[in-house]
Amino acid sequence: MDQKIKQAIVRGETSLGIELGSTRIKAVMIDSNFETIASSSYEWENQLIDGYWTYDLNEMINGVKETYRQLKQEVVNKYGVTLQKIGSIGCSAMMQGYIALDQAGDLLVPFRTWRNATTGTAASELTEKFQFKIPQRWSIAHLYQAILNEEEHVPNIDYITTLSGYVHWLLTGSKALGLGDASGMFPIDESHLKYNEEMVEQFTELIADKDYPWSLKSILPKVHTAGEHAGYLSETGVKLLDPSGSLQSGIPLCPPEGDAGTGMVATNSVKKRTGNISVGTSIFAMFVLDKAISVHPEIDIVTTPDGSPVGMVLANNCSSDINAWLGLFREFYEAMGLRPDMNQLFSVLFNKALEADADGGGLLSYGYYSSENITGIQKGRPLFVRSPESRFNLANFMRVHLFTAFAALRIGMDILTQKEHVTIDRIMAHGGLFKTPLVGQKMCAAALNVPVSVMSTASEGGAWGMAILASYMINKEKDECLADYLTSKVFKDTEGQEVYPDSADVSGFALYFERYTEGLAIEQAAADHLIENWRK
């Protein structure tokens, strides 16, 4: 088998997906059977600087280089060959945000990520103007807020894009973006698979008095649908990715996509009436719609990588607080003179949640590291609260922190199911929280009251989904749609494990959810009164 894979690597019968997530840059290389043959990752973190959540894009470049270097070394170690050819490459990243470049290709302002809640006025005005929900994190909201703020950089804009589009541009020189990621920049016209022309005109009229030297259409990336070629690895791109020069230029790249799109692909959820949930620093659920729905502040409308409309519920906070508490337990372990196995630590603590009271024993938690758009909390204040009568033990503590990871999402889900009557038969799930078998699934099924399935490929994540999109570009049959490619080829032999909601867990979450919604006033008080500059 290794010899067969070795020959595939030498011949370039592979696809590489690179995804820049909120805490990791990950690369996954697959063969023609969609099996992972090498992978690597690089840890990075966002920073709150001058009131904006941002990432250092110089570190991003170094991280991409290091991730590729590790993957290249793994190929040498496992198969004894140096990477020179790759059949196709795809780049993915956290959706939305704001990267503004001048004519020289230099950043005009630091990268503003999806996590910022600084565009409320712009998002509200555009939603009213378009009669279409514009979330605060969308690129057009960031641009319009900068215009409203009369920021100096705005007249000098030559190009705005997302993080995936920026990496793709560095590698290819092509100002391109996949349809799914583009739908987080500006609304998409489903019938024509491009930016909504009527809304483009409305925006143009809205800013006409500014007399900027650019038009909106001139500064947005070109939209590409899944399966199209979106550029080729340039000599400059080779130097960025592989400074050793071993890698050959000219490798085709598929349209860059957002993490929502790669999540849909990684869970085989691009057909209408399918849905998936992705957990990480943020959490989002996506349902491919078969009918139009009304405008709701909690529901975003984006698209699949091939253009179907998707109802998206996104909460800004999910696993950060859980990870912080696990870090505290690790410190205790180390203080006892022991060396913790973090996989074991996660497994033991997650499984304790199965021993807990159904509602978490009267405990309450908010894992708000940043603002939470769904509940209207504008500042991140992680909070753990209990009364003297609460049953404060480890099992309840863990259950409550898992419950709260899904609680804000539940608010948006109720709108889809109860107000818009969207039918949800099951959800495909992926993300690190589901790595411990069954526990995350049971808590998610209880919180959302739907069956939750996790495929055997779920741990591969968005980088694997991006590699699949790259593979689709070069290996699809004529007129073969993405949904058919996934169903008949990628997932034809893939097994999944489905967990149904347990009635006791569902009732327990209902009690917890009541406590959660009632306690939002406590979280708001923490946001109002807990100072940020305590270090000073």
User: Is the pLDDT reported for residue 347 higher than 70?
Assistant: yes
Question: Residue 223's beta-bridge partner residues?
Answer: 177
Strand ranges (E), 469-524: 496-499
Predicted confidence (pLDDT) per residue in 151-161, tens digit: 999 999 999 99
Cα angle 187-288-457, degrees, rounded to a multiple of 5: 115
Residue 50 gets the label, from left (phi > 0), alpha (psi -120 to 50) or beta, of: left
pLDDT computed for residue 292 by the predictor: 86
Mean pLDDT of the residues in the chain: 93
Per-residue pLDDT band at 169 (split at 50, 70, 90):
very high
The residue-averaged pLDDT of 294-315 equals 91
The residue-averaged pLDDT of 52-57 equals 92
Per-residue pLDDT band at 460 (split at 50, 70, 90):
low
State how far the Cα of 250 lies from the Cα of 122, in Å rounded to an integer. 41
Predicted confidence (pLDDT) per residue in 326-342, tens digit: 999 999 999 999 998 99
C-alpha distances out from residue 247 to 12, 42, 79, 173, 261, Å: 11, 20, 16, 17, 27
Query: How many CB atoms neighbour CB 162 within 10 A?
Result: 30
pLDDT computed for residue 534 by the predictor: 53
Predicted confidence (pLDDT) per residue in 114-143, tens digit: 888 899 999 999 999 999 999 999 999 999
pLDDT computed for residue 124 by the predictor: 95
The model carries a pTM of 0.84
Per-residue pLDDT band at 280 (split at 50, 70, 90):
confident
Sequence-ordered alpha helix ranges (H) in 12-130: 57-79, 120-130
The residue-averaged pLDDT of 143-155 equals 98
CA 494 to chain centre: 23
User: Is the pLDDT reported for residue 238 higher than 60?
Assistant: yes
The CATH T-level fold of domain 320-456+496-529 is Nucleotidyltransferase; domain 5 (3.30.420)
Tell me the two tokens of residue 451: 């069956």
Residue 523 gets the label, from left (phi > 0), alpha (psi -120 to 50) or beta, of: alpha
Sequence-ordered alpha helix ranges (H) in 97-178: 120-130, 139-148, 163-172
The residue-averaged pLDDT of 64-93 equals 96
The residue-averaged pLDDT of 298-319 equals 92
The residue-averaged pLDDT of 171-182 equals 97
More confident residue, 376 or 425: 376
Task: Tell me the percentage of the chain whose pLDDT exceeds 70.
Answer: 98
pLDDT computed for residue 515 by the predictor: 98
Predicted confidence (pLDDT) per residue in 8-22, tens digit: 999 999 999 999 998
pLDDT computed for residue 297 by the predictor: 86
Predicted confidence (pLDDT) per residue in 257-266, tens digit: 999 899 899 8
